[in-house]
């Protein structure tokens, strides 16, 4: 079994999404000690913006396809995902590898893989709240992975910019949820 661990937060040691994604990986690895863990830090080693030339290199999508489980740390920046994570997704959505167009419409080809996403957001974006229209992180990732045949599982720490106490309890609650995810 191979676990691909992706991080995209720019905040280093302070990062909530990194702490939560690591907790998920640690739980999964604890339950399957023989698993191989591949860590791709998109901030330490960023992928360039997509260009046509970049399609010649399929190493990123092959690494994704080879993984049984993918754990992604995804912070919200400016209501959506970090550009570093977008550059990675730009290499994952590849016609003929992770999806194809059929007469009946697009078909996802990457099903059968588990994708767990650790979200970290400064505010709250609950359905029906005034801010919900600005939620382009969880909704986007749900749509993109759905397009390639995967229903991602989310663990979220929210309200992280609403005070130290709120941040601490939100991260603690998300870390607790990682136990359930790995069970
Ligand atoms: C550059 C930047 C932009 C941000 N934009 C938003 C935003 O649009 N909405 C929000 O709820 N939080 C926003 N935040 C707060 C982050 O989502 C929050 O700090 C979270 O902890 C980031 O994840 P991380 O700790 O893994 O870096 C922003 C933070 C940064 C650094």
**Residue 16 and residue 75 in contact, taking contact as beta carbons nearer than 8 Å:** yes
Instruction: For 23-80, write each residue's pLDDT tens digit.
Output: 999 999 999 999 999 999 999 999 999 999 998 999 999 999 999 999 999 999 999 9
Count CB-CB contacts under 10 A for residue 104.
6
Q: Which atom of ligand 1 is nearest to the CA of 131?
A: 11
Q: How far does residue 40's CA lie from ligand 1's centre (Å)? A: 21
Q: How far does residue 65's CA lie from ligand 1's centre (Å)? A: 29
pTM here?
Answer: 0.98
**60: which DSSP letter?**
H
User: Coil, helix or strand for 40?
Assistant: strand
CA-based nearest residue to 176, from 161, 158, 156 = 156
Instruction: For 129-182, write each residue's pLDDT tens digit.
Output: 889 999 999 999 999 999 999 999 999 999 999 999 999 999 999 999 999 887
CA distance 142 to 153: 9
**Residue 119 and residue 171 in contact, taking contact as beta carbons nearer than 8 Å:** no
The CATH code belonging to domain 2-182 is 3.40.50.360
Specify the residue with its C-alpha closest to ligand 1, atom 18.
Answer: 122
């Amino acid at each position: 079994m191979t676990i691909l661990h992706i991080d995209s937060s720019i905040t280093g040691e302070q990062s909530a999404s990194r702490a939560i994604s690591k907790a998920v990986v640690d739980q999964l690895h604890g339950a399957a000690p023989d698993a191989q863990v591949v860590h791709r830090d998109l901030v330490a080693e960023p992928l360039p913006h997509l260009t046509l030339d970049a399609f010649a290199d399929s190493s990123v999508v092959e690494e994704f396809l080879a993984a049984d489980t993918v754990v992604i740390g995804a912070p919200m920046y400016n209501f959506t995902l970090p550009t570093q994570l977008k550059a990675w997704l730009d290499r994952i959505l590849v016609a003929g590898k992770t999806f194809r167009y059929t007469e009946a419409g697009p078909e996802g080809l990457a099903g059968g893989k588990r994708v767990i996403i650790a979200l970290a957001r400064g505010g709250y974006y609950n359905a029906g709240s005034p801010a919900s229209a600005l939620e382009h992180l969880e909704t986007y990732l749900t749509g993109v992975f759905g397009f390639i045949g995967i229903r991602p599982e989310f663990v979220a720490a929210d309200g992280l910019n609403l005070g130290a106490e709120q941040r601490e309890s939100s991260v603690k609650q998300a870390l607790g949820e990682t136990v359930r995810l790995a069970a």
